[in-house]
Amino acid sequence: MTTKNKQLKTQFLKKQLPAYIKMASGLSLVVGTMGLTAPAFAQDAAEDQVEEVIVSGQRASIQSAQDVKRNSSVVVDSIVAEDIGKLPDRSVTEALQRVPGVTVGRYTNNDAEHPAAEGSGVAVRGLTQVRAELNGRDVFSAASGRGLSFESVPAELMYAVDTYKSPSADMIEGGLGGTVNLRTRMPFDADGQLVSVSAKANYGDQLEETNGEYSGLYSNRWETDAGEFGILINASTSDLATRSDQVYSRPYMPRNINGDDVWVSKGVDWRRNDHESTREGGYLALQWAPNDNTELYFTAFQTKHDNVYDENAFFLEGHNGDQALVPTAGNDWVYSANGAMESGTVTVANPAQWGLDFGTSTRWAQNVSKTTDYSTGIKWSPDDHWKFSADLQYVKADARVDDYTLGLKVIPAQARMEGIGTEKPSIIIDDAYMSNYANYNLGQAMTHFERNEAEAKTGRIDAEYDFDGAVIKSVKAGVRYSEKTGDNINTGYDWNTRYATWFGFDKNSIPKVTADQAADYLTLYSFGDFQRGDVTVPANGYLYSSNAARNFRATTDAVNADCETDGAWWCAGSVYQEWDRLENPDYRNLQEEKTVAMYIMTNYGFDDLAMPIDGNFGVRVVQTDNTASGTLVVNEATVDGVVVVPRSTEPLEAKTNNTHVLPSFNLRMQATEDLYVRFAASEAIWNPSFSDMQAFVTVSADIDEETGVIKSFNLNQDTNPYLQPMEATQFDLSVEWYFDSNGGMAYAALFNKQVEGFFKKTTDAYAIGDYKGEATWLDNIGSGDINGLEIGVNKFFDALPAPFDGLGIQANYTYIDSKADIPLNTQPVGGDTQAGAAPLDTDRSSYGQLPIDQLSKNAFNLVGMYEKDGLSARLAYSWRSKYLIAWGGNGFDPDFNDGLGGKARIPVYNDDYGQLDASISYNFLDNYTVTVEASNLLKEKTVGIIDQNAAGDHVAYSYAQDARFAVGIRARF
């Protein structure tokens, strides 16, 4: 943290915050110290790209990618399209998982509760802080302002995907794991006219639905009296429908059953998610070379991703106290060796009055995101020494989320649970009871809205002078200026319920679903072949129809119309009234960011050595100023209906600025004609997203109910407008052996990354005058040390007799060892929670240091290839070992049941995961290719492991997703 930012933090905490609280409560307060922090920016790709030709076929694609790696001055791995509009995998994300050191997640927004329809989230060398670029320029989504989800970009628009693992000074800052640059074609890449069209049909085996995918490209160049002109137009649209069946066992709570200390799960969930995703992309590129020394260009790129999912769920919720799960009189419970309940018939203490809390829910959500990039520039080389370039860019991004959930409650007296904590937890409930709508009540409703807009204006100027020297080859310098703004609204998840057993109400007296309501809004639902028949779920159950959820407002207005006449005790607060929440300034996040970056870089070479050496060294200096505008809210506090602290809101403006000096050094030694040794060292940063830096602070008073005296003021938020960038020092040592001219290559790399300032939600104690309080928010917490090894080989077996001379193999393996230093928990603050950022089990026991999240210790890719006489085949298997997803995530943060308050923060891991994909293509009539593809051929499940101390490890969930098949045709002229 810079000195100036420390002063800003102190100013806010010691002056502004007490002043706001004083306005609300009339108290004179002085704030003590708390940890805070601030932002930074992004990263352009290196200019010295290898000149490439358009290639066709797996072998040519691999050779072209190896040329990029061999001739680059930095550590880079590339994927080059084996033909126009054809990366080797269906999506950019899935293609990246084949790169050594790169792993792919399987969750939406890293939320273990929500699997992604495709691979989602990329980690490079164990870190998910990966910068995304488009043709070496900053590209981003609206909500984060930092990066673009690779799965949102149509793969058909890509020429190549470069993964930079060591930076140079001329690259835009902002990537700890690395930088992934998405490269599109330019008209001058081809000698003349190019036309390509393709069509594909996709099919998912569980959903049993077929969707289409189409793309087309036209490129040409002409010589005229005014110079050479080129144009390229590329468009793509694709639909994907997929199904995911999910089953969850909830965390185990310490319980005493019949005098024995045991562990009992809070319940089980079953969900089916149907995703419908449409990806559209368009790209225009113009080039003009008026003479041999000058080139002007203009590009326009747009990607739009429209994702809709329908979720149908059944769930049994066990609560604390009188609503906790207990055995029936028969007491047939079976326990593990650790005393964890595995199976048995469950009920509650008073089933006649309360019953089991069983729910069904229907969720409909649509997420539409769009990013548009306009870029123009000039390259000019007036003589043999000077090179100049200037680039202007405008990016506009927007996103919209509408998310609705409607649920029912049904209260059976008992149920039979089996296989709890395994991949196949099952439940048996009386089918006749579940199939009668009159046993249900209209239970709960939830909404979530987002309206996000962001834009950036960027200018860049670079100059390079070639010395033709013996050692100093050239010196390159440049400056980049960017203004980025974000206007984002996120209403959070507004959850309302009419009835639940934990309210303490008698189940017999609440209004039940009427015949008209059942006919208008409900459907009798069956999961059918759930997880391909592996898991037993209730045969039938009522839930809201998908149409009722999609038309949420009309549905809730109708069912709530006569709410008050049916009994105010259950209706109070259940009528959804806040349709104006999108206009509520409390949910708005305004960000303004200005970045100035300057660099100087020297390219050097010792050509006369027995082992020639070349490379670059330089430094990049970046200054970032950020202003986050939002709201500080003091929540109302009452005692016996008397307002002690009134609710108030005040504007909050948080300003940060920081300067980072980022040196880099890259060396390449040619030990022999075909053997290269590389060394790289650099400093890197990763900037917090705009959503993490939202200036929305809430302060709540803790009141002594007996005396009415304010005991403390507590701060609680999921963001921090003063958050600072993460920082890393990184080293790389690698060897590359290009042992034949037909794509044969072997390589090995050792790397180390030392990371500071992870973004973690933490609880800290602080003082307000004579009062002690807690601040719970996102902060820069702890450090980590990552050491790793990458090895790999590519080989085509041309020496084999026909027809086996078309065989080839790609194999790579990555090993990563990490150590994290995250502050552990202190004693309870104020008797309610435990401070710190580390995980806590449900019995308040701690875990010590855990590995860095998202990092697998072992990962490998094995790809078998065949290419001969127009036939091309590929069988690819990717595997990664168990890795930590997060701790205390949604669904894995239960309330403690010891009466002291607070929530557990339980670690959840993704178990080992491997996926087999295949493709076969055949070229005919010179210009046509027919393809057949399959992904997830082994129908692998994504399995989560919940880590608990005394209760032991159990399966937290398993996701069964579609095996997908596709057939397509591609023509090129």
DSSP string covering 24-79: HH-----B------------PPPS-PPP-----SHHHHHHHHHHHHHH-SS-EEEE
- Give the mean pLDDT of 366-374: 95
- Give the mean pLDDT of 268-287: 93
Among 395-399, 412-416, 479-483, 761-765, the minimum mean pLDDT is found in: 761-765
Among 446-455, 646-655, 769-778, 840-849, the minimum mean pLDDT is found in: 769-778
Burial class of residue 635 in the structure, from the number of CB atoms within 10 Å of its CB (0-12 exposed, 13-18 middle, 19+ buried): middle
pLDDT at 563: 66
Q: What whole-number distance in Å separates Cα of residue 123 and Cα of residue 103?
A: 5
- Please report, rounded to a whole number, the percentage of residues in the chain having pLDDT higher than 70: 89
Tens of pLDDT, residues 504-541: 667 777 788 999 999 999 999 998 888 888 788 887 89
Q: CB–CB of 751/788 below 8 Å?
A: yes
Any idea what the Cα angle at residue 934 is, between residues 111 and 964, rounded to 5°?
50
Looking at the predicted structure, is the pLDDT value of residue 1 above 50? no
pLDDT at 771: 60
Looking at the predicted structure, is the pLDDT value of residue 19 above 70? no
Q: What pairs with residue 779 in β-bridges?
A: 760
Q: What whole-number distance in Å separates Cα of residue 6 and Cα of residue 756?
A: 17
Whole-model pTM: value is 0.88
Among 480-494, 701-715, 856-870, the minimum mean pLDDT is found in: 701-715
- What are the backbone angles phi and psi of residue 51, rounded to the nearest 5°? -70, 130
77 CB contacts (<8 Å, ≥6 apart)?
65, 69, 99, 100, 101, 102, 162, 163, 165
Q: What whole-number distance in Å separates Cα of residue 532 and Cα of residue 526?
A: 14
Q: What whole-number distance in Å separates Cα of residue 154 and Cα of residue 122?
A: 16
Among 90-99, 189-198, 757-766, 849-858, the minimum mean pLDDT is found in: 757-766
237 CB contacts (<8 Å, ≥6 apart)?
154, 213, 214, 215, 278, 279, 280, 281
Tens of pLDDT, residues 747-796: 999 999 999 999 888 877 766 556 667 777 888 888 999 999 999 999 99
Q: What whole-number distance in Å separates Cα of residue 784 and Cα of residue 816?
A: 13
Looking at the predicted structure, is the pLDDT value of residue 230 above 70? yes
Name the band, by pLDDT with cuts 50, 70 and 90, for residue 890: confident
Q: What whole-number distance in Å separates Cα of residue 540 and Cα of residue 548?
A: 19
Tens of pLDDT, residues 289-300: 999 999 999 999
Q: Which is it for strands 613-634 and 696-703: parallel, antiparallel or unpaired? A: parallel
297 CB contacts (<8 Å, ≥6 apart)?
186, 285, 286, 287, 288, 375, 376, 377, 378, 379
Q: Give, as one character, the DSSP assignment of residue 18.
A: H
Cα–Cα distance list, 601 to 377, 502, 548, 677 (Å)? 21, 65, 61, 21
Higher pLDDT, 666 or 104: 666
Q: CB–CB of 367/307 below 8 Å?
A: yes
Map residue 523 onto helix, strand or coil: strand
Looking at the predicted structure, is the pLDDT value of residue 323 above 90? no
| H-helix or E-strand spanning residue 309 | strand 294-317
Cα–Cα distance list, 332 to 346, 418, 467 (Å)? 9, 11, 85
pLDDT at 145: 79
- Give the mean pLDDT of 118-132: 85
Among 150-159, 480-489, 725-734, the minimum mean pLDDT is found in: 150-159
Q: What whole-number distance in Å separates Cα of residue 768 and Cα of residue 801?
A: 82
Please state, as a whole number, how many other Cβ atoms lie within 10 Å of the Cβ of residue 15: 11
pLDDT at 283: 96
Name the band, by pLDDT with cuts 50, 70 and 90, for residue 31: very low
Looking at the predicted structure, is the pLDDT value of residue 595 above 50? yes
- Look up residue 582 and give its two tokens: 């999108």
Looking at the predicted structure, is the pLDDT value of residue 713 above 80? no
Please state, as a whole number, how many other Cβ atoms lie within 10 Å of the Cβ of residue 157: 26
Q: How far is CA 235 from the centre of its chain?
A: 26
pLDDT at 15: 45
Q: CB–CB of 959/940 below 8 Å?
A: no
- Give the mean pLDDT of 335-364: 90
Tens of pLDDT, residues 792-836: 999 999 989 999 999 999 999 999 998 888 776 554 444 444 455
Report the chain's C-alpha Rg in angstroms.
Answer: 30
DSSP string, 166-214: S--TTSPS--SSEEEEEE---GGGSSS-EEEEEEEEEEETTTTEEEEEE
**Amino acid identity at 577:** Q
- Please report, rounded to a whole number, the percentage of residues in the chain having pLDDT higher than 90: 56
Average pLDDT over the chain reads: 86
Tens of pLDDT, residues 607-638: 999 999 999 999 999 999 999 998 888 888 88
Burial class of residue 801 in the structure, from the number of CB atoms within 10 Å of its CB (0-12 exposed, 13-18 middle, 19+ buried): exposed
pLDDT at 571: 56
User: CA quadruple 931, 913, 132, 488: dihedral positive or negative?
Assistant: positive
Looking at the predicted structure, is the pLDDT value of residue 26 above 70? no
Q: What whole-number distance in Å separates Cα of residue 23 and Cα of residue 18?
A: 9
Tens of pLDDT, residues 716-754: 778 888 899 999 999 999 999 999 888 899 999 999 999
Residue among 169, 176, 101 at smallest CA distance from 749: 101
Residue where the block lists tokens 């994927």: 79
- 153: number of CA atoms within 13 Å, CB side? 35
Looking at the predicted structure, is the pLDDT value of residue 54 above 80? no
- 725: number of CA atoms within 13 Å, CB side? 30
Looking at the predicted structure, is the pLDDT value of residue 43 above 70? no
Name the band, by pLDDT with cuts 50, 70 and 90, for residue 449: very high
Taking every pair of C-alpha atoms in the chain, what is the biggest distance, in angstroms? 95
Q: CB–CB of 851/806 below 8 Å?
A: no
- Look up residue 20 and give its two tokens: 């706001």
What torsion, rounded to 10 degrees, do the Cα atoms 116, 178, 82, 196 define?
A: 70
Secondary structure (H, E, C), 745-783: EEEEEEEEEEEEEEEEEEEEEEEECCEEEEEEEEEEEEE
Q: Give, as one character, the DSSP assignment of residue 672.
A: S
Residue among 887, 895, 776 at smallest CA distance from 844: 895
Residue among 241, 232, 252, 321 at smallest CA distance from 277: 241
pLDDT at 218: 96
Q: Which is it for strands 871-880 and 260-265: parallel, antiparallel or unpaired? A: unpaired
pLDDT at 2: 46
Tens of pLDDT, residues 175-229: 888 999 999 999 999 999 999 999 999 999 998 999 999 999 999 999 999 999 9
Q: What whole-number distance in Å separates Cα of residue 927 and Cα of residue 195?
A: 10
Residue among 697, 696, 734 at smallest CA distance from 713: 697
- Look up residue 792 and give its two tokens: 């790999």
**Amino acid identity at 608:** D
